[in-house]
Amino acid sequence: MKLTGIELRRVRMPLVAPFRTSFGTATERDVLLVRAVTGEAEGWGECVAMTDPLYSSEYVEAAADVMRRYLVPALADRPPADAVAVAPALRPFKGHRMAKAALETAILDAELRETGRTFARELGATRDRVPCGVSVGITDSVPELLDTVGGYLAEGYVRIKLKIEPGWDVAPVRAVRERYGDDVLLQVDANTAYTVGDASLLAALDPFGLLLIEQPLDEEDILGHVELSRRVRTPICLDESIVSARAAADAIRLGACSIINVKPGRVGGYLESRRIHDVCVANGVPVWCGGMLETGVGRAANVALAALPGFTLPGDTSASDRYFRTDLTEPFVLEDGHLPVPDGPGIGVAPRPEILAEVTTATEWLPLA
């Protein structure tokens, strides 16, 4: 494989409705797409960094800057023979996992398209479709939440995730359980909004039979999660704390969690995501694929990852219309609560040129040859 250049493309995608979490409200996605061009093919990757550094220290402008100034020049100096060589070439640069993930994914997509191999097969997928959950943001009222949840259940989603924060936790969970019953697969996501001092409050969620409580404490508070796991019966799932296979192994060994959410952008790419999957399988820890409001480009790769055998819980791989009226790619459509795994070369999808042209706000070409 011979890379000739990398294109950075910014697109602006309005959301169908505001999405509120404990760290802010999003009304649109400012997306950084990466296009890797070789002599024979082109591949696509999506950087999941947000506009502002609220979910993590990474943000879109910084991701574009580090690619432009450091990461892409490093690939020019040390041309990777394949996608596996990308991470070692970028290792001297600390952090910036979301930027690295987007680059690696685009290069892997191009490599696989050249050879006619699929993303799913390359990662080790064992299924041709995956069950889908949906993430429900914080709403203005409990009645509004109930209407929203009811709509998603009617669409066929097999699992509901409620975003929570102090003051919006026990009451909405109780209301959903009372309205829709104990058979609904239900979990909550705190996005680091609590402290160990809130253990009794989080324990008040135990009677509702939740699948898990996702990332209740600060991402660096691993020992706090160990303590919380001892005081709360509901399984603790780590998200923001898991940045690598090593971090996953350490968290499991310490007893900080019993479930892990894998977000490829957060951990540096899909190859590292596969390593985290393997660590969890070896330790009997269930994993599931989280979402970052991806367009169809990122969603296609996530669906392929979620088809690996250790992904035993429904992920946040929702249909396109959960977030966008018009997706960049052909839309992903829910079928009996599942999404099909793309079976074309590479990630199996590509942006539609006419849609891409409408939403693009800037492009930049970075030659490698």
Catalytic residue positions, numbered: 163, 263
Residue 295 CA, chain-centre distance (Å), reads: 11
Kindly give, in sequence order, each residue whose CB lies less than 8 Å from that of residue 46, ignoring residues fewer than 6 positions away.
Answer: 31, 32, 33, 34, 102, 105, 265, 294, 295, 297, 298, 301
In order of 90, 164, 166, 192, 194, the CA distances from 199 in angstroms are: 40, 14, 12, 13, 9
Q: Could you give phi then psi for residue 274, rounded to 5 degrees?
A: -65, -40
Q: Which helix (H) or strand (E) holds 6?
A: strand 3-21
State the number of CA atoms in the 13 A half-sphere of 13 facing the CB. Answer: 30
239 DSSP 8-state letter = S
Strand order across the beta sheet in which 236-238 lies: 133-136, 159-163, 185-189, 213-214, 236-238, 259-262, 287-289
Terminus-to-terminus CA distance in the chain, angstroms? 13
Kindly write down the DSSP assignment for every residue of 38-67, as one continuous string: ESS-EEEEEE--BSSTTSSS-BHHHHHHHI
Residue whose structure tokens are 């939403």: 359
Residue 302 CA to residue 246 CA, distance in Å, equals 21
Q: Let me know: does 186 contact 173? Beta carbons within 8 Å.
A: yes
